[in-house]
Amino acid sequence: MRVVFLGVGEAFDENNPNNAHLILSKTKLLLDCGYSVPVQLWKYNSNQSFLDAVYISHRHADHYFGICPLLTRMWEEKRSKPLTIICQKGLKKVIIKLLEIGYPGFPKKFKFKINFIEVKSGQTINFKELKLSFAPTRHTAYNLAIKVDDGKQKVCYSGDGDFTNKTEQLYHQADLVIHESYLFQKSVLGHSSVTKLIAMAKRNEIKCLALTHLQRAFRKKDLQKVKQRIKQEKVKIILAQPGKEYKF
C-alpha cells in the first residue's frame, strides 16, 4: 500500500487544498473529496477510470463538495467502470441531491454505475483486498474516522474532529495515522491539537503521525513551533505536504 497526501489544508486555506488523501493498493481509494480536491487528483492522475472508490468522512463542504466535478468529468471522459462511494448512513441521499444541484440532469446521463456503501461506527467491511473499519470523532458534524488495512499496513485517517476512546482503539498500533491538528495546544470545539495528538500517538504506539488541516493563520505564524516540537519527540511525526507520497 502507498499513500499520497493530495491536500492538507483546512476549509478556508488559500494556500493548501482541502484535506484529502489517496490510498494506492490494487484498489485506488480517495479519502474525502472537498471542493478543491478534484484538481489535485487530476494533476496526480487524470485517467477517468483511475479511482475505484471514494470515502466521505462527513457532511462539510471541504470534504464532499468536490464529488460534483469529479463525477461529471468522469462522465464527460466516458468512464464506464463502476465507482463506489463509501459514507455514513444517511449521506447517500445528500450526495445524490448534491450531484443534481451541481449539474442538473447530468447524473441521469452517467454511463457508469455508482454503488453506495453506507457504514456506521464500529463496523468493519471488506472492500476488494482492503479491510475498512470506522469510529466516530468529536466534531461539529457527525464524522467517522477510517482505518484501511491491506494485510500488511494499517493506515488511519481522521476526517475532522478530536479523537474519542473509540477512535483511539481504531488507531492503536497503526502504521500511519493522518490526523487533523487545528492548533498547537489550544482546544477548539470539534478539532484536535498538535500536543494532544502527540500524547495520543505515544500511548497508542502509532508508528507515524501525519499532521494535517492546521488552521491557516497558525500555519503561517507558528509552523516553526510545530517543527521544533517534532524534533524533540521520539515518536515519528511528519507535517504532511500536498502531492507528497508517504514511504513505509
Domain, as residue range, for 89: 2-246
Number of structural domains, the chain? Answer: 1
- Reported as a pLDDT band with limits 50, 70 and 90, residue 7 is very high
Enter the C-alpha cell of residue 227. Answer: 517543527
Decide: 193 and 138 in contact? Cβ < 8 Å.
Answer: no
Predicted local distance difference test score (pLDDT) of residue 187? 80
- Reported as a pLDDT band with limits 50, 70 and 90, residue 8 is very high
* Residue 242 clears pLDDT 90, i.e. is over it: yes
Residues 32/224/185/210 CA torsion (nearest 10 deg): 30
* Residue 243 clears pLDDT 90, i.e. is over it: yes
Residue 245 CA neighbour count, 13 Å, CB half: 7
pTM of the predicted model over 0.95? yes
Domain with residue 216: its CATH number is 3.60.15.10
DSSP label at residue 144: E
DSSP label at residue 19: S
Decide: 2 and 236 in contact? Cβ < 8 Å.
Answer: no
Predicted local distance difference test score (pLDDT) of residue 13? 97
